[in-house]
């Protein structure tokens, strides 16, 4: 259930280092991306990296059409990327990220309601979408989905 006191706000996220995997997928493929988080954590331990935040999913090119492919990056924030790396994942440091953010509390199947709140906020404040959306999984509870806490960051120009 979404917290009615949590209203969207515009903000700028500072640059972040990520260990990540990128894939071109459709909505039907999202469920198959869940194990990647464990793989990213495993790789960070093997490389003696310092994870410094929750798993992110970064969506690019998602149009709302469930059959249209889009880019998904499953990302683990890390303190610093190694100078050399030859593994199955990638590293990146993001630029500053302007976004509208909202904390969604509850099951992920209710995320569309929170996205609608963000879109209404953007229309009201005449903010143009930037093409990238992030979901930060602050608490991912597979036993009790109502305990999920997901921060949505919808990019703006």
Domain that holds residue 155: 98-157
- 30 and 93 co-located in one domain: yes
- Give residue-wise pLDDT tens across range 131-154: 999 999 999 988 999 999 999 999
- Give residue-wise pLDDT tens across range 108-131: 999 999 999 999 999 999 999 999
Does the pLDDT at position 3 exceed 70?
Answer: no
- 125 and 109 co-located in one domain: yes
- 20 and 93 co-located in one domain: yes
Q: What angle do CA 113, 119, 123 make, to 5 degrees?
A: 145
- 114 and 73 co-located in one domain: no
Q: Which residues contact 23 (CB under 8 A, 6 or more apart)?
A: 29, 33, 71, 72, 73, 74
- 76 and 129 co-located in one domain: no
Do the domain assignments include residue 59?
A: no
- 93 and 21 co-located in one domain: yes
Number of domains the chain contains: 2
pTM over 0.95, yes/no: no
């Amino acid at each position: 259930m979404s917290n009615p006191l949590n209203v969207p706000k515009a903000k700028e996220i500072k640059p972040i280092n990520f260990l990540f995997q990128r894939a071109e997928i459709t909505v039907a493929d999202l469920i198959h991306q869940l194990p990647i988080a464990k793989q990213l954590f495993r790789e960070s331990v093997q490389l003696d990296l310092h994870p410094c935040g929750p798993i992110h999913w970064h969506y690019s090119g998602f149009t709302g059409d469930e059959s249209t492919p889009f880019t998904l990056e499953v990302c683990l924030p890390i303190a610093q990327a190694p100078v050399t790396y030859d593994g199955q994942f990638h590293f990146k440091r993001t630029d500053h990220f302007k976004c509208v953010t909202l904390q969604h509390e509850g099951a992920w199947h209710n995320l569309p309601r929170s996205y609608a709140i963000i879109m209404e906020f953007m229309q009201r404040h005449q903010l143009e979408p930037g093409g990238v959306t992030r979901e930060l999984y602050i608490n991912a509870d597979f036993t009790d989905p109502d305990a999920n806490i997901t921060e949505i960051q919808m990019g703006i120009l």
